[in-house]
Amino acid sequence: MNKPLRRIAIFCGLLVLTLLIRDNWLQYVQADNLKEDPKNRRVLIARYATPRGDIIVGGSPITGHAATTSGDFKYKRTYENGAMWAPVTGFVSQAYGANQLESIEDGILAGTDDRLFFRNTLDMITGKAKEGGNVVTTLNAAAQKAAYEGLAKRGKGAVAAIEPSTGKILALASYPSYDPSTIAGGSDADAEAWKKLQKKNNPNDPMLNRALREVYPPGSTFKVVTAAAALENNLYDGADVKTNSPLPWTMPGTTTELKNEGNIPCKDATLRVALQYSCNTVFGKVGSDLGNDKMLAEAKKFGFTEEQFTPVRSSASVFSEGMNQSQTALSSIGQYNTATTPLQMAMVASAVANDGKLMKPYMVDKLQAPSLDTIEQTEPEELSQPLSSKNAQILQSMMETVVKDGTGKNAQIGGDVTVGGKTGTAQHGENNSKNPYAWFISYAKLSDGSSPVAVAVVVEDENAVRDDISGGGLAAPIAKSVMEAVINSKK
């Protein structure tokens, strides 16, 4: 070969090599970036070219799809009772992306998950349109309805309900809420609806998942954790042993007396009586006597200071470290820095009901292929053991006294159902200027000793008369209706 031809051949070879390198760079190195590029409409067009799989509750879909009348996208998402289920489903939108289950399980729902590769390949060969799989949840429709409707009557708040023996989430309600269907498309109407839902335009913040993402001061419901710490650290060895609790009691290092609400029998009260009447002095002194380290250790066993993934992320609840005795005393009655999600307080009640064993909370039971074959099944998982079985049963008896003879009477169900609970009224606002939050945590126990449900309710009733706000008055009736819904669904 003469020299000019050889040069041309080498040059052409280099061009081919360059093309191969570039092709491989695009297909393997930059593929994900190009796929996720917002300017790449082909991916979005393909995403909405076929119906999306469904999110299932109790065997029935709470999602669907509808054909669009204009634009590049053939289908958009629809929701049944969208506002009620939004804290579970989240949203998927042609214009605004997705969140919560719609985002976390997007691969299954959109049919693009690698575990559907064989099915998708077979469908491509046979000419069948690609289909999405299903997300089967642990939710109980009747319990969710009871929770949502109960909150709607009060104006603002959240409910979380768990099956103690497994960790299955049975209800997850937040109010006010929003209908994800209104923002599922890409029209001007969807844009206007999206604008109205943003916190800067709507101070009620309807897109906030209060059950998982909002942290509230728990008030006296936290005394259940403090009681558990007292028993686990052998500060007191039973529910009916008198405590060393003077009245009045001045917090260590201060000249400030810790006050109780009203003239209640708190002097040297037993743990049972102290929980029944919600004695600040008793549980404040318990926290102070145990000290910050022991109280923090017990709170962590219940899940405090850690995010939970259900798989939707729940904010970490707060119990601080490095506090002095008086700060620990206030934190031990749910004040000072202590803050918690409703899910976290449902976990506290759940662990007590489950004889001291805390199960990891989860809301996805299984993932299904379009053929309804199970791709992945969630197995219950123990998260921790905050209490021994003996101490859990002692604490159960104390919480049952609260409902039978104390501040939680509005949660009584009757018949062969025993209810244990704890009320709470949590101050908030600068100098306690705003209406307090009303809390109630509880569990129901059947005649065979099993506990099908544990519940946490927080109510933010801005329109209530301040003196009428109490956990027993506002939150306990909602908890009762949720527990009854779960029990009745099992009959």
Catalytically active residues, by annotation: 220
Maximum CA pair distance of the chain? 111
* 233-255 burial code (b ≥16 CB/10 A, e <16): bebbeebeeebebebebebeeee
Cβ-proximal residues to 420 (8 Å cutoff; 6+ apart), any chain: 349, 352, 353, 396, 398, 399, 400, 402, 403, 442, 443, 445
Rounded CA-CA distance 111/109 in Å is 6
